[in-house]
Chain A
Amino acid sequence: MQGFLNFLLVLILAGVSQLLAPWWVIALVPFLVHIWRPSGYLAAFLSSFLAVALLWLLYSGYQHIESGGAISERITQVFRLPNATLLVVLTGLIGGLMAGLAGMAGYSIKNLFQRERIV
């Protein structure tokens, strides 16, 4: 449950903050969320990964389809990828991985100082 709520929190906070802030809030948000609401290594990673991967996958996928691939097809070729779908998937994976690692790092730090209270 904690994990699912954290997923929603990262999803919403990272989604909103990215409208204004640079890309790296996708690391900052899960990092802070998991300091604030510790869950576990795996849960921290998964909830952060899924939230941001979903955001980046869906938003890049939407723009790819809506634009008819106007820019994404060209960038796909610049990176020598076989097709633009792969670029959408890679975008999601890379964003997700950054968020997941940051979430896990957030949790691990909180965990250091939590020893007395939890145990």
Chain B
Amino acid sequence: MKFVKAIVSLLLAVSFFYVLSVRWGPAPALGGFLSPFTGFWQNWERAYEKDTEISISSDSLRDVVTVRYDDMGVPHIFAQNDFDLFFAQGFVTAKDRLWQMDLQTRAASGRLSEVLGPATLAMDEKNRRMGMNFGAESNFKVAMSDKRSREALLGYTAGVNAYIDQLKPKDYPVEYKLLGYAPDHWKPIYTMYMLEQMTLTLAGRSDDVKMSHILKEYGQEVLDNLFPDYPLLQESPIIPAGTAWDFKRLPIPVGTPSLHHSDTLVQRSGKLHPLEPVAPKVEGVGSNNWAISAEKSLTGYPILANDPHLELTLPSIWYQVQLHAPGLNVYGVSLPGIPSVIIGFNKDIAWGVTNVDADVFDYYKIRFRDETQSEYWHDNQWKRTQFREEQIQVKDEAEPRVLKVVYTHHGPVFSETDSLGTPTYYSTRWIGREAGNSFQTFYQLNKAKNFEDYRQALSHYVGPAQNFIFADNKKDIAITVNGKFPLKYKNQGKFVLDGTNPTDDWNDWIPFEQNPYVKNPPRGYVSSANQSSTDPSYPYYINWEFAPAERGIRINERLDAMKQATGDSLRLLQTDNFSVLARSILPRLLDILKNNPGAPSEKAAANALEAWDLVNSPASIGAAIFETWIVQLRESIWEDEFGGQKLPMRYPSRDRTLYLLLNEPDASWFDDRRTPQKETMNDIVLNSFRASLETLTHAHGPLSPEWAWSKVKATNIKHLSKQLGPFDSGVLSTGGGSSIVNAITTTHGPSWRMVVELGPKPRGYGIYPGGQSGNPGSPYYLNMLDKWVKGELNELLFLETAEQQSDRLASKLIFNKK
């Protein structure tokens, strides 16, 4: 009997122990997770307290480093040399953002499956195939060969690892506890992965294949008509029209058209590497920046503003920091994982960036000799391909999965299979795999004192190409469309290129000095919002299409009118909700509605639009109807010709769509090819109007304040896991929109808003949606969110010495040499 009891007791205990020790589906192992001694209960933090001091010693340090935290949780780092400075930056960034750094570098390098299992394998394979590792490795070699970037990378790495080494399992960020893995050591190359990830986000796609499909289906004339090389309706280019290009022009390469888009090269079957369905460019990844001259400002010095728009996530994308060392005192935002400040200001200058939509991702049609894919035809001879083996560790699998990626001299090869199962092979050339030292640009900008330093810093930059805006206290303002741009023939890369033809290669680069830029233009300001870099007079090809013009138009209109401006004037412009899009097209659409009155509910909606002030304010019902409608309208016009085709295509631009509506009311494109009757523009406008009202009614009930733009748009900032709803921001009451200066969409928006008044002493203001800490249990996780939603900025505390007194300073962290 005792024996039975013993067995039963033991079995019970062991079974329950087992239940608590293993993961059940997505749920963490409950024993460790629930333990108040080691589990999630430990993951809360107190606010930094005044006059407290913590000391940490490390034998990697060369001298003492002092870190002072302010009331927003921003670290102000004072070091005696670069190594120690970046050590401390690595340490404090890891302290607030370790899991984010880990996840993002894992994602970029294709190592997610190592900790998350087969679920993320496809993602890992995709990033491996893109050659992210190839790019990171090439960039890393260059960075390590330069003393300054080497010092920064090694210091930063030592700092992150010093932080990781002093962690006990109970201190691990809560995401590690939920997902059931532990932090690994940081490696210097991880910084390069972060830069790769940025390049992928901002410059990692192109429509070449879709454009070739359109060309094949509709021919050159239709293509030229619907996909023009410069906006037809309206544009306000970044470099003001009329700016002189006073440089000695290089001969522009001449394309030798040899690829017939209608022909089908005979292909032999081989192993397929699927052409990943590249996510279309999201409108919302973009940014605004501008700087006004001393003449336009009340302060008598330039004022600069920047707000980069990205997918908004928690932990916040950016991390504020002040870095102080001999020859350096800079404040701004960094990207966790990258030493130095990316957007910010120092005593003398301020700078910011917006994305250039450069054509730096090209597809080349490849002809392999046979199914081994070991040789391809180029320049009238068979050339050997390279095989790169990517090993992907998968959680709970003994052997790594091996992925073989074929490279031509262009880059890795993908394939696409048509409806008959015939594969086409494409090699890709991408700026993300180009070796360079873009880090050097940011490092030098951190130290820059004037316009010359700024230009010098920019000359190192490779990509992702950015519009670098600049202002200094010597009263210079400037903007440079900057990046390493291949010197191409016009529209080289608008379509798929010929992989056998050497004239289609990237054979040369536009010299840095000839990248478009302007200094102190007569109009008294410089600005950018991802629109066309220049008007068509610029001699070189950068791209045939840029982001839509509305934000740029609005910014330039307001800056033209601005006088005696202060930092606050620029803040108000950052949060401007006026719709240039509606101003351009709504009168036309309302005319059609007026002549075709519909049911009472339609009339009510039309009245709401009629009464709308064209401002996308959070409470606006007109904005909600218009924004829903304009999306639906574009669908209704183009879907039958360009959507859901056997070979993927894309729609003409928004500018071209508006031009069609305003100037070509009789165009045959309005007819829906899928119906027997012939639709006119009016039919399409009215049908899409009804469809959008149905959509709104279905989701939000009949017309009421429930149709407020903020409710329809429902901005929600998600936790990086995309799985943990309670770690999200929840639905926010925001206005704006994708074509609006205040570019807040459902998922994207201003990830950092900064305004800097230059002067004898700079005054900086800034905010981002979230907080310094990535820990959902910290008081600094979402503490800046409310102010961001309201469009307010915090004054940024710019210290001159480590001992400086301020009411806003809280605790101190001292690093000692061991």
Contacts and interface: CB of A to CB of B under 8 A. Distances in A.
A95 B38 CA distance: 13
A72 interface: yes
A94 B2 contact: no
A6 to B, nearest CB: 16
A40 B135 CA distance: 67
Question: What is the size category of the interface that chain B forms with chain A?
Answer: 35 or more
Contacts of A77: 725-726
Interface string A71-100: 111111110000000000011001101100
Contact of B726 (A19, A26, A74, A94): A74
B759 interface: no
Contacts of A51: none
Interface string B39-53: 111111100000000
A7 interface: no
B35 A56 contact: yes
B117 to A, nearest CB: 20
Given A74-B727, A75-B40, A78-B724, A27 B13 contact: yes
Interface residues of A, number: 42
Nearest to A94: B34
A101 B726 contact: no
A2 interface: no
A18 B168 CA distance: 13
Q: Which of B34, B178, B727 has the most CB of A within 10 A?
A: B34
B41 A71 contact: yes
B38 A23 contact: yes
Interface in A54-82: 55-56, 59-60, 63-64, 66-67, 70-78
A63 B17 contact: no
Contacts of A11: none
Contacts of B14: 105
Most chain A beta-carbon contacts within 10 A, residue among B37, B38, B169: B37
Interface of A is mostly: helix
B779 interface: yes
A40 to B, nearest CB: 11
Contacts of B12: 101, 104-105
Interface string B1-39: 011011011101110110011000000001110111111
B778 interface: yes
B581 interface: no
A111 B39 CA distance: 34
B17 A71 contact: no
Nearest to B14: A105
Nearest to A76: B726
Contacts of B174: 71, 75
B776 interface: yes
B777 interface: yes
Interface string B563-598: 000000000000000000000000000000000000
10 contacts: A23-B38, A59-B37, A66-B44, A67-B777, A72-B41, A74-B776, A75-B726, A98-B31, A101-B13, A105-B10
Interface of A: 18-19, 22-24, 26-27, 31, 41, 55-56, 59-60, 63-64, 66-67, 70-78, 90-91, 94-95, 97-98, 101-102, 104-105, 107-109, 111-112, 115
